[in-house]
């Protein structure tokens, strides 16, 4: 009887151990399974940036954002430059007719330069000579004199000679004209000097005003001097 009881106890203990082992396996499976679906960090591929960062990287911006406004401004500036370049190219291709104003004016001043004064007065304080005469002679393209005009200086010694743009159907070019002193308005200061070509002549070249029908060229100033300041080869101004 004792042996039979011992064998029964052994069987019960083995069965109890078997049950505990099955329970342990079931509990273990329930605890481990949920963790099998957790994501594993990938250090070779970083997580995607947030949506705003993605927009900056791709070059697109949300409407109203500072980046979008800056991009719009840059695009508008580039478009304006392209349009300006196209307009400039079109203008460059256009054929502009030669400019021939109907008249051009030659203007300047006649002054007296007195060598008997001190240096500053001689060099910097020349006085105007009213009533002096300045002439303009123009040649055609064959070298023939086709125009001559003149004007007397006003109270400030200023003259203005109006020259027509055309003579006998041909254009008068300022580059084919010569301006020179013709007479002094002061007998005490009547010797031509050749400052600025007043005695030998000057070609109008300083364009100071231009409009569709008129142009103005500045010449001189021209100087006359008293007889005691006369030098060799200078001519006395006609009076």
**pLDDT mean across residues, the chain:** 74
What token pair was written down for 122?
Answer: 């001689």
In angstroms, rounded to a whole number, what is the distance separating the alpha carbons of residues 146 and 176? 11
What token pair was written down for 217?
Answer: 């060229």
Comparing 61 with 25, which gets the higher pLDDT? 25
- The domain segmentation of the chain, as residue ranges, is 51-93, 103-229
In angstroms, rounded to a whole number, what is the distance separating the alpha carbons of residues 37 and 131? 113
167-175 long-range CB contacts below 8 Å, 24 or more apart? 167/138, 167/140, 168/140, 170/140, 170/141, 170/146, 171/100, 172/138, 172/140, 172/146, 172/147, 173/138, 174/104, 174/106, 174/203, 174/204, 174/205, 174/215, 174/217, 175/203, 175/204, 175/205
What token pair was written down for 199?
Answer: 């005695």
In this structure, the number of other CB atoms found within 10 A of the CB of residue 159 comes to 24
In angstroms, rounded to a whole number, what is the distance separating the alpha carbons of residues 191 and 199? 10
Classify residue 78 as left (phi > 0), alpha (psi -120 to 50) or beta. alpha
In this structure, the number of other CB atoms found within 10 A of the CB of residue 65 comes to 13
Grade residue 238 by pLDDT with cuts at 50, 70 and 90.
very low
> Tokens 């300045």 correspond to what residue?
134
What pLDDT sits at residue 119?
Answer: 72
* CA angle 134–155–215, rounded 5-degree value: 50
Comparing 155 with 167, which gets the higher pLDDT? 155
pLDDT winner (highest mean) among 1-15, 41-55, 159-173: 159-173
What pLDDT sits at residue 32?
Answer: 46
The stretch 124-150 carries a mean pLDDT of: 93
In angstroms, rounded to a whole number, what is the distance separating the alpha carbons of residues 80 and 145? 53
In this structure, the number of other CB atoms found within 10 A of the CB of residue 82 comes to 10
Check if the beta carbon of residue 162 is closer than 8 Å to that of residue 213: no
Reply yes or no on whether the pLDDT at 208 is more than 60. yes
Reply yes or no on whether the pLDDT at 36 is more than 50. no
What token pair was written down for 178?
Answer: 């010569």
Give pLDDT tens digits for 179-190. Answer: 999 999 999 999
Check if the beta carbon of residue 198 is closer than 8 Å to that of residue 220: yes
Reply yes or no on whether the pLDDT at 221 is more than 80. yes
In angstroms, rounded to a whole number, what is the distance separating the alpha carbons of residues 99 and 106? 17
Reply yes or no on whether the pLDDT at 235 is more than 70. no
The architecture that CATH gives domain 103-229 is Sandwich (2.60)
């Amino acid at each position: 009887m004792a042996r039979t009881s011992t064998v029964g106890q052994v069987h019960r203990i083995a069965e109890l151990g078997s049950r505990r082992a099955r329970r342990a396996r079931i509990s273990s499976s329930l605890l481990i399974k949920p963790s099998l679906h957790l994501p594993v960090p990938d250090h070779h591929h970083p997580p995607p940036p947030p949506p705003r960062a993605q927009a900056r990287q791709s070059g697109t911006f949300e409407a109203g954002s500072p980046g979008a406004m800056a991009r719009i401004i840059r695009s508008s500036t580039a478009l304006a430059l392209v349009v300006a370049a196209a307009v400039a190219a079109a203008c460059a291709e256009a054929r502009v007719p030669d400019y021939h104003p109907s008249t051009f004016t030659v203007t300047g001043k006649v002054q007296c330069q007195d060598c008997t004064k001190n240096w500053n007065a001689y060099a910097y304080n020349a006085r105007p000579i009213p009533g002096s005469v300045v002439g303009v002679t123009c040649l055609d393209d064959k070298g023939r004199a086709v125009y001559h005009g003149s004007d007397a200086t006003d109270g400030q010694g200023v003259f203005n000679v109006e020259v027509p743009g055309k003579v006998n159907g041909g254009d008068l070019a300022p580059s084919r004209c010569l301006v020179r002193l013709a007479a002094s308005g002061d007998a005490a200061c009547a010797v031509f000097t050749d400052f600025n070509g007043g005695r030998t002549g000057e070609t109008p070249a300083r364009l100071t005003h231009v409009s569709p029908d008129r142009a103005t060229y500045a010449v001189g100033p021209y100087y006359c001097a008293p007889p005691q300041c006369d030098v060799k080869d200078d001519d006395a101004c006609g009076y």
